[in-house]
Homo-oligomer: A and B are copies of this chain.
Amino acid sequence: MFDQVERGLTLSDRAYETTVRSLRTKLLAAHFALRETRRQVIVIISGADGAGKGELVHRFAEWLDPRGLVTHAFWDDSDEETQRPHFYRFWKAMPGAGRVGVFFGSWYTRPIIDRVSRVRRKRDFIPELDRIVAFEHMLTQGGVTFVKLWLHLAKKAQRDRLEENEKDGKIGPDDWEHFKQYDRFREVSERALIHTNEPWSPWRVIDATDRRYREVAAGKALLAALEGALKGVSSTAASAGRGPGAARGRSRAAVAKSGVRVVRASTTVAARTYDPGPSLLDAVDLTQTLSPKRYDDEMDELQERLARLTWAAREKKVAMVLAFEGWDAAGKGSAIRRVTWALDPRLYRVIGVAAPTDEEKAQHYLWRFWRHIPRDGRVASFDRSWYGRVLVERVEGFAPVEDWDRSYDEINAFERQLTDHGIALAKFWIHISPEEQLRRFKERQRVKYKQFKITPDDWRNRKKLPAYRLAVEEMLARCEAADAPWTVVAGNDKRFARVQILRTVCDRLEGALG
């Protein structure tokens, strides 16, 4: 891969000036056109030390419209970043719809460096690259176009560059030390590039010896990507807002061909032929109850246990994420409060998931959950969650079928990233019978301070129970994993439900604490 580009290509001053003038005009036109779309373009600038990566960042800042450009250098992580799953920092830097994000450093940096220095073992390296492929694939399908640039220097060219820098006094103490590793760095990077060189996010390797040549080559690659992104725009995206990508048609096949193991995708069957198997909801015994006396006793004990566990989790820097889903009036809010009452207010946050803001709408649907992932040692309770994608967005038609259908895999990969980071994850579906729901609706209408909880939406949703039920069953079946299992709660008796939830939370956290 690298051999092929080592051709010592250069560009004269005059050729550069002429080419750049026309290139800038076209780049700007494309960049402006992009603003009118919902597509995001991510430019990854990576490559060898001394290859001019920083200079290229400056050049793009000069050539593009600054108002549609966000530049982000991944370096020197804050503790808000290191105390969260690895991909959090990249989600945080994501450019909004219609914008270009230039990334100096990326999700490739750490795996490659760690592999070069042998901090990461060979058998962990390929799975990490697979995760990257799945991540880029997900973003591509969500409307992102990637421009992955690798500025390459042949061994002699890098030596020349370092000698030049040394003369100018610009050399760092480690530069020659790194240079000794040239061959190993080259081998590892080449492997990474080949493994992640997918049709929907190909690498562009550029011989970086000549400044003018590399800048023009990079600019042309960016222009081609921008123009591709513009062609791929779907005229009107659904309310979820993500148009299908240009590569949509071939994506599934391409993933299969490239050998990517889409993480935990046990079900690659198209949803429309999906057979959920035996009902998981029917299996729940809704007649289970708990007497007030036993409820009080168990509640006291469990809340004390949870308080102890969360302080231990803070000590051990283990975070917890709780996702609460359930039928309308199933008691999500009151169940969450029974959990949080056990916690010191400094240790938890409750995230009520409502309509997305416009900053959220300009991003992939998972972005608005990533921004609330807790730091190590903290608890986040989501009152409704990312599962809205395959529940309300599916049933109400807010997301087209091809969007929500692939979300099962995306959600599994998302949760896997949380649990891989050591986060304790518990997911609850609070189940109640339609009769119990009706009884509660009527009660809510009766009791004054509960009236706010009942809206025309609730009655409307009730009419769609069969469609929701299908969606719930499919969700429970397809998003199940050993470290991210669903707990279907028997919710007809509130006391029974709350104790079941609290006990599960305790067990899960205890398990994560080891």
Contact = CB atoms under 8 A, between A and B. Distances in A.
B375 A25 contact: no
B80 A345 contact: no
A354 B67 contact: yes
Contacts of A78: 78-80, 375
A61 B449 contact: no
Given A61-B350, A67-B352, A78-B80, 7 more contacts: A58-B341, A66-B333, A66-B352, A66-B383, A79-B80, A357-B358, A359-B359
Contacts of A336: 66
Identical copies in the complex: 2
A122 interface: no
A114 to B, nearest CB: 19
A31 to B, nearest CB: 9
Interface stretch (A9-17, A69-77, A281-289): A69-77
Contacts of A75: 346
B346 A71 contact: no
Contact of A71 (B61, B71, B350, B448): B350
13 contacts: A28-B452, A32-B452, A53-B345, A62-B337, A66-B350, A66-B352, A66-B383, A71-B350, A75-B346, A76-B346, A78-B375, A104-B346, A357-B358
A115 interface: no
A8 interface: no
A414 B116 CA distance: 46
B350 A58 contact: no
A345 to B, nearest CB: 4
A199 interface: no
A76 B346 CA distance: 9
A324 to B, nearest CB: 11
Interface in A75-89: 75-76, 78-80
A71 B65 CA distance: 39
Contacts of A53: 345
A344 interface: yes
A62 to B, nearest CB: 6
Contacts of A62: 337
Interface string A23-36: 01100110010000
Nearest to A20: B449
A57 interface: yes
Interface string A323-356: 0000000000100110011001110011010100
Contacts of A71: 345, 349-350
Interface in A112-135: none
Contact of A104 (B58, B345, B358): B345
Contacts of A357: 357-359
Given A21-B449, A62-B337, A54 B344 contact: yes
Contact of A73 (B104, B345, B449): B345
A354 to B, nearest CB: 6
Residue from the set A32, A73, A349 with the largest chain B CB neighbour count within 10 Å: A73
Given A66-B383, A71-B349, A346-B76, A58 B337 contact: yes
A323 to B, nearest CB: 15
Given A80-B80, A358-B358, A58 B25 contact: no
A448 B32 CA distance: 14
